[in-house]
Amino acid sequence: LPLLRGETDIHREEVFAEGGYNPREPQCFEIPIKNPNLPVVGIYYDKTRIPEEKPYTVARSAMIRTQEWKLVIRDKGKEELYNLQEDPDELTNLIESKDYSQVQSRLKEKLLRWYLNTSDNAHWKKSRVL
């Protein structure tokens, strides 16, 4: 909050985000609604079908965003790279362009380092049984 209060002008150069889930994580899936005509819950029929019918829309993904670039990597589905200065509406995906391979590599390395520094640690209070 120091930045918001005007106490500093130092801020991070990147923003990171992650989300989604994999089929190996059934605890993350909503219980499918079998009948769209059910009272109250029937309105969610289409929503609960999405993970099964279009798994790429809920697949694990990670994102790094700088002032100039945004990179999205997905476990399944198409990755995305946007030049936010030239394409703020993210209409032109540059992920296939060889002209931006160095940008991709740099962003992927930063994303990997972020994961290494923020990933879960082993639970230290559990007893170790071999």
* Mean pLDDT (10-residue bins), the chain, 130 residues: 86 90 75 78 78 78 97 90 98 98 98 90 64
Task: Quote the CA–CA distance of 61 and 32 in Å, as a whole number.
Answer: 23
* Residue 11, token pair as written in the block: 């801020």
Closest CA to 84 of 104, 107, 68: 68
pTM of the model: 0.73
Q: Which residues pair with 73 in a beta bridge?
A: 62
Percentage of residues of the chain with pLDDT beyond 90:
44
DSSP letter, residue 127: P
Domain ranges of the chain: 1-20+59-117, 22-58
| 3-state SS, residue 74 | strand
- Give me the CATH topology for the region 1-20+59-117: Arylsulfatase, C-terminal domain (3.30.1120)
